[in-house]
Amino acid sequence: MIIVGLGNYGETYANTFHNMGFMCIDKLAEKLNIKIDKNECDSLTGVKSINGKKIVLAKPQTYMNLSGKAVKGLLKKYDEELDNLIVIYDDIDIPRFSVRIRNNGSAGTHNGMRDIIEKIQSEKFLRIRIGIGKAEFDLASYVLSKIKKEDIDTFNLVYDDVTKVLIEYIKDRDYNKLSREGNIIKH
């Protein structure tokens, strides 16, 4: 299974809305005791076998809009099917602090997802979307803005909940339990 968190690398982008995928991967790595310290396929990765299943956690280092190159490379290197791909990312089209899980669909307004879909030639893979709400100003500036201090604790709860759900999914691969009707968290 390959679990990819989308974001932009570098301190400039730390704690921005667009790096929610990175933050979830960091939380998942912490819970699963996986070190994300390997450079491969244009990504920082960590790999571990859990109950006989190889888990790859990845943070593409290509900048958001070019994430497809990294994801395609990881799928090829680990010889994984799209059924074993999960992508975590921010989404302005759902309410702040909510999470939606789908196993297919379009990229919506997300350029990183658009690039992934284009590069792997499919929309049929699992995605976890973390709601950041509608842009309060210019979209590009909004997604690259720092998360307000008063929202950080709530987003940390969101990352915890996503992590718990993913750990359960890694154990039994039950999509119905994972999706919980498409919304797993509303804070």
What distance in Å separates the CA atoms of residue 87 and residue 104, rounded to the nearest whole number? 11
Rounded to 10 degrees, the C-alpha dihedral 88/68/41/30 comes to -10
CA distance 112 to 186: 24
Classified as helix, coil or strand, 35 is coil
Q: Side-chain half-sphere of 171: how many Cα atoms within 13 Å?
A: 9
> Is 18 designated active site?
yes
Catalytic residue among 4, 6, 8, 18: 18
Report CA torsion sign: 17, 23, 24, 27.
Answer: negative
Active-site residue set? 18
